[in-house]
Chain A
Amino acid sequence: MTTMPASQAQGQAGTASGDILLEVNNLKMYFPVTSGLIFQRATGYVKAVDGISFFVRRGETLGLVGESGCGKTTTGRCILQLYKPTSGSIKFEGTELTSLNTNQMRTMRRKMQVIFQDPYSSLNPRMTTGNIIGEPLIVHNMVSNKEEYKERVGELLRHVGLNPYMADRFPHEFSGGQRQRIGVARALSVNPEFIVADEPVSALDVSIQAQIINLMEELQEKFSLTYLFIAHDLAVVRHISDRVGVMYLGRLMEVSDRNEIYINPIHPYTKALLSAVPIPDPIADAQRERILMTGEVPSPLNPPSGCVFHPRCPLATEKCSQVVPQLREVENNHWAACINVPGYGET
């Protein structure tokens, strides 16, 4: 693999307007595949995330889309330092997270929270709602006495559209949507600046999805939150995001403003992905041009050389299997990693 200098994200950061809250640079997360019973040795690596760079501005929502197994969730977990990245840098408000020790990280965690996909697995069935929401408050010594604690928990419940008296109930007494609200309340408890929303609505009914999305937008406004919104549902991402990044097999393929990427996709993978979205109008659906990809997503254990998308790409040339394309600004505020798109320039 050609090692490239820290990619164009530096350039991005330079030209980007606004305050950068989170900056990820050339992040790699390889999971070793071990074999052997006693003396385990790595026989290969799953390249879940393979050199991605992006930034998130304060107050915006960056949507991260891609099919299953493309490394969206791993990226989110690396940012939260649940995984120790193989290499790369993650800067949050200018602080390098990868070099923090446990105590320093605990302080940082007040500023970054997460909402998980499965509202059934993310709430401890043995704890009351109040204790679930209040746990981070106690860990970070954010309340001084019981009344203040109760007050704060009640306030959080109201913020997410639940009633303060529900604090004494157990998770099994709530529906999926309500449970996800509890998850949101917990994430809010420490007044974070940044929330990683890891497929927060994928497990919910469509009508409930809308409620949660609206709630998240409302809360973003109220508490000036920044979201990294990970999802595979393109419509949901379009609705909530300010900018969207498209991932494929551990790489970022394209990053741009949400309307730009949906109306004017540049990267051939994005085009193919968008053309797979059904249009709720049979005539329009039949008339549009669809780009069908052939074959399967290659294994991240042994990704293709050069551009990981080249075996399935309609634009692929011989060069694509040799050169790893970097994310470059091919149009104003529009980054793509494809050597065959106009504006990419010299490889």
Chain B
Amino acid sequence: MATATGVAGSALGRVSRLWRRPGRIRRIPVVPLSIVALLLVCAIFANIISPHDPRGADETQRERVLKTLVPPFQNWDNPLGTDRRGLDVLTRLIYGARTSAVISMIALGFGVVAGTVLGLVAGFRGGWADAIIMRLVDAALAFPLILVAMLIVVVLGPGIQNIILAIAATVWARFARQVRGEVLSIKERDFVTLARIAGVPDQTIIARHILPNVVNTLLIVVSLQIGNVILTEASLSFLGLGLPPGDPAWGIMVAEGRNFVIDAWWLSLFPGIAITLVVLAFNFFGDWLRDTLDPKLRRL
């Protein structure tokens, strides 16, 4: 257990030292971090901060029909306008953040765990296990992420759990490859040999000596993949392959608005901006994390 706290201690320690001395090594990315924070706040407190209900349950049908397609910045009740059904765009944006955050976090979680375990096995065991796992990784990376995800959703049908599965099934390979490479170099280091000589069992060697030394790299790859995952989720929703239509999700909002881009530009523009900003923010944050924790990973 001391090992685990040691890892968190040193990785977080480095980050926190940078907080205290801004400009010393690399300034922390204030704008991307604020966007990420805003996304998280929206996701967690969507029901508190949004002015309306995302499905219009707070108003009667009549009330909504009377205010369909209100342009943005006209009144305080619907600051970003309303859509064809008279639903508040800002509210749906905020709930869309929740959808994105939940789906991408769960999918990433599965992807990270699967990728890490397979990468550790491939790197540590070598031989046949390595050959098979790495060919699977090659196969998974050879197809475009979105194509595989589409295939899975088409075969298994739409629904939140299938989107999560589709995304997890495509991102794991990147983690597996990165972890395996790292394990290959770490397992040749003397402290692993010393653990072997001491008679430490293989599982303990992996848990105490190898995994903690992979965590930094893993953290960086994860942060660089978040943007990708959010984009995949939005793309699937946009293509109508993800969540049922009517659910608040950025991809669905863009898709619904695309037929009225000339007349009601705000329907697609705001969710589009949201996707762009969030993906960019995570990419900048990931870049910064990589440069700070492990400059060797520049060429990923």
Q: Which residues of A contact B (CB under 8 A)?
A: 80, 82, 105-106, 109-110, 113-114, 116, 118, 121-128, 131-132, 135-136, 139-140, 170, 186, 190
Q: A116-B190, A118-B190, A121-B191 are in contact. Are A82 and B197 (CB under 8 A)?
A: yes
B195 interface residue (CB < 8 Å to A): yes
Beyond the given A121-B191, A122-B191, A131-B3, could you list 4 further A-B residue pairs with CB under 8 A, ordered by the A residue number? A82-B196, A116-B190, A122-B194, A128-B6
Chain B residues 179-233 with CB under 8 Å of chain A are 189-191, 193-200, 208-209, 212-213
| A103 to chain B: closest residue by CB | B199
| B214 to chain A: closest residue by CB | A126
| A116 to chain B: closest residue by CB | B190
| A135 to chain B: closest residue by CB | B198
Instruction: Select which of B6, B193, B200, B213 is within 8 A of A135 by beta carbon.
Output: B200
* Complex CA distance for A132 and B198, rounded to whole angstroms: 11
Residues of A within 8 A of B191 (CB): 121-124, 132
* Complex CA distance for A132 and B192, rounded to whole angstroms: 11
| B131 to chain A: closest residue by CB | A38
The answer to whether B199 and A109 touch across the interface, beta carbons within 8 angstroms, is yes
Instruction: Select which of A109, A122, A123 is within 8 A of B198 by beta carbon.
Output: A109
Between A and B, 23 residue pairs with Cβ closer than 8 Å are A82-B197, A105-B199, A109-B199, A110-B199, A113-B197, A116-B190, A116-B194, A121-B189, A121-B190, A121-B191, A122-B191, A124-B191, A124-B209, A124-B212, A124-B213, A125-B213, A126-B212, A126-B213, A127-B208, A128-B6, A135-B208, A140-B198, A170-B6
Residues of B within 8 A of A136 (CB): 198-199
Residues of A within 8 A of B212 (CB): 124, 126-127
Residues of B within 8 A of A82 (CB): 193, 196-197
Q: Which 9 A-B pairs have the closest CB atoms?
A: A122-B190, A126-B212, A106-B199, A136-B198, A121-B190, A124-B191, A116-B190, A121-B189, A109-B199
The answer to whether B2 and A131 touch across the interface, beta carbons within 8 angstroms, is yes
Residues of B within 8 A of A127 (CB): 2-3, 6, 208-209, 212
| B186 to chain A: closest residue by CB | A124
B7 interface residue (CB < 8 Å to A): yes
Instruction: Select which of B10, B190, B195, B200 is within 8 A of A126 by beta carbon.
Output: B10
The answer to whether A139 and B190 touch across the interface, beta carbons within 8 angstroms, is no
Q: Quote the shortest CB–CB distance from B203 to chain A (angstroms).
A: 12
Which residue, A109, A135, A136, A170, has most C-beta atoms of chain B within 10 A?
Answer: A135
Residues of A within 8 A of B194 (CB): 114, 116, 122, 186
Q: Quote the shortest CB–CB distance from B197 to chain A (angstroms).
A: 6
The answer to whether A135 and B196 touch across the interface, beta carbons within 8 angstroms, is no
* Complex CA distance for A128 and B6, rounded to whole angstroms: 8
Residues of A within 8 A of B3 (CB): 126-127, 131
Q: Quote the shortest CB–CB distance from A181 to chain B (angstroms).
A: 15
| B199 to chain A: closest residue by CB | A106
Q: Quote the shortest CB–CB distance from B81 to chain A (angstroms).
A: 52
Instruction: Select which of B189, B190, B195, B199 is within 8 A of A140 by beta carbon.
Output: B199
Instruction: Select which of B193, B199, B213 is within 8 A of A116 by beta carbon.
Output: B193
* Complex CA distance for A186 and B195, rounded to whole angstroms: 10
Q: Quote the shortest CB–CB distance from A172 to chain B (angstroms).
A: 9
Residues of A within 8 A of B6 (CB): 126-128, 170
* Complex CA distance for A109 and B199, rounded to whole angstroms: 7
Which residue, B6, B10, B194, has most C-beta atoms of chain A within 10 A?
Answer: B194
Residues of A within 8 A of B198 (CB): 109, 113, 135-136, 139-140, 190
* Complex CA distance for A132 and B195, rounded to whole angstroms: 9
Q: Quote the shortest CB–CB distance from B65 to chain A (angstroms).
A: 62
* Complex CA distance for A132 and B197, rounded to whole angstroms: 13
* Complex CA distance for A124 and B207, rounded to whole angstroms: 12
| B200 to chain A: closest residue by CB | A139
* Complex CA distance for A221 and B10, rounded to whole angstroms: 39
* Complex CA distance for A106 and B202, rounded to whole angstroms: 13
| B193 to chain A: closest residue by CB | A82
Residues of A within 8 A of B200 (CB): 135, 139
* Complex CA distance for A105 and B10, rounded to whole angstroms: 35
Q: Quote the shortest CB–CB distance from A31 to chain B (angstroms).
A: 15
Q: B139-150 toward A: CB 8 Å interface, digit per residue (1/0)?
A: 000000000000
| A109 to chain B: closest residue by CB | B199
* Complex CA distance for A151 and B212, rounded to whole angstroms: 26
